Amino acid sequence: MNLDAARLDDLDLKNKRVLVRVDFNVPQNEKGQITDDTRIRATLPTVREILAKGGKPILLSHLGRPKGAVVEKMRLTAVGERVEQLLDTPFLKLDESIGPKVADAIAKAAPKTTILLENVRFHAGEEKGDKALAAEFAKLGDVFVNDAFGASHRDHASVCGIARLLPCAAGRLLEKEIEAFRRVLEKPEQPFIAILGGAKVSDKLKVVDHLLERVNAILVGGGMAYTFLKAQDHSVGKSLVQEDQIDLVLQAMMKAERMGVPIFLPQDHLCGTRFAEDTSAIVSGIDILEPFLGLDIGPKTATFYAERIAAARTVVWNGPMGVFEWPAFRGGTEAVARAVAACPGYTVVGGGDSVAAVEQAGLASKIKHISTGGGASLELLEGKELPGIAVLSEKKAR
């Protein structure tokens, strides 16, 4: 896994048109109002540095999945308004992302102006990594900066295609992400604890396999725990189980045993009779009987997990411990969040739900690194190379 990307310091930015791939795929409500601008704020240090060094930032981003067509509600209008508010410097939002009119608007924009292009996924070639589209993007700039960690696991035209055509480097956000995952995957301080949750065990088995060679223990929660428990012949009632993954789970557990790495599973659960927010919550032991289903780790497990986390020097957390969106089943995830926040070691939280849980508990400022890319962070934890980072590393090596 090559995480040695070129940096912003390696580029001459003065009087240059600087194409910056950002990840402004932010949540919006039904009225089109942005409900969380974390990703926008996270990229502003890069934009401000480009401005300070005399460059003209030209921002490219996707929003949603318009599938290569113009979808009015997926325009970056609201995003542009928020960027302009936060930057408080000259700003221009364009209604297209390629073509002569765009090039002309960029050329006429006053110095110190930040320009936001329209949703790059309005072009069918974006997600296909189309070389011709990448060339059209590249015409608009002199150098390229990738600051979109959340899109760096995709070989798309605006992520990798431009980088292959222009001098390129990682922005400050991407640089922070690279350093955080390098620290936990290449030189973690021991003991190293991984906390894995979420609904589907199939989403996390590759992560388990890759981390077994690095961690001292894995704490499992969420829906994925019930497939592990079923594999151990425990009763799980009506809990979520991926039957087709049981053999793979058994293989993972045998590998962990051979390597002397414990995989801790919930010893008690918070259960309901229906998968519904208003179902009555009851505490069950390790076995869950019909008609109940597990919806959160129980209090004994939460305490045990918190004790393991408190003793760690490195912690990676990906995936909630239960259905934390429902107040009655939020306790396990919040207990883990508090433990991670209080841990004196180096802590990394990745994955949209885990990040949302930390922010919901008001603990985000106490986590050493919160990743802005759920899918990208998961692939790094699986040991995969991210195309958007790899191309920056390849260009640096030349």
User: Across the 398 residues of the chain, what is the mean pLDDT of every consecutive 10-residue run?
Assistant: 75 96 94 90 96 98 96 96 95 98 97 96 98 98 97 97 97 95 94 96 96 97 98 97 97 97 98 96 96 98 98 97 96 97 96 87 94 92 94 74
Architecture in CATH for domain 8-175+386-397: 3-Layer(aba) Sandwich (3.40)
Known catalytic membership, residue 200: yes
C-alpha–C-alpha distance, residues 185 and 254, integer Å: 22
Boundaries of CATH 3.40.50.1260 in the chain? 8-175+386-397, 190-344
Q: Any idea which residue has 């959340």 for tokens?
A: 150
CATH of region 190-344: 3.40.50.1260
Burial class (CB in 10 A: 0-12, 13-18, 19+), 249: buried
Q: Which of 150, 221, 332, 352 is catalytic?
A: 352
335 within 8 A of 304, measured Cβ to Cβ = no
CA–CA gap between residue 215 and residue 191 (Å, rounded): 7
- Annotated catalytic residue: which of 182, 200, 300, 384? 200
By residue count, the chain amounts to 398
The whole-number pLDDT of residue 398 equals 55
39 is known as an active-site residue = yes
What local confidence, expressed as pLDDT, does residue 2 receive?
Answer: 54
How far apart (Å, rounded) are the C-alpha atoms in residues 282 and 321? 16
| β-strand partners of 51 | none
- pLDDT confidence of residue 356: 87
Choose the catalytic residue: 39, 82, 230, 308.
39
* 164 is annotated as an active-site residue: no
Whose tokens are 């087709």? That residue is 244
pLDDT of residue 374: 86
